[in-house]
Amino acid sequence: MAHNINIQGQITPEQVATLGEQGFKTIINNRPDGEESNQPLSADIAAAAEQAGIAYKEISFAGTGLTQQHVEDFADFFNQAEQPVLIFCRTGARSTGIYEAAKKMDLLDD
């Protein structure tokens, strides 16, 4: 089974309801709080996701701080997550990196 994912840059709590209307069932955040002063808080996005009935998980890391543990945590959550899944960080690069790392290590279920 192909993975049904969308990787993008920063989302806001206000966008979450629309993402639910677009069919997303799960959101994974790879961006730590506090990188930029105007950045939405993970807790606020999580609250919006809960209100919209969307599963939410923060697996955040700094741009160069990806570890094996992050990848394993990501894969564990991703493998049980209801799809489609939206994965985001500041620009999408980190999220692409963690997804590709999990695929390369063969941690993602087919």
pLDDT, mean over the chain: 96
Q: What are residue 90's phi and psi, to 5 degrees? A: -65, -50
Tokens encoding 24:
């997303």
Q: What is the pLDDT of residues 8-52, one digit of tens each?
A: 999 999 999 999 999 999 999 999 999 999 999 999 999 999 999
| Preceding omega of 84 cis (within 30 degrees of 0) | yes
* Arithmetic mean of pLDDT, 77-88: 97
Q: Which domains are assigned to the chain?
A: 7-104 (3.90.190.10)
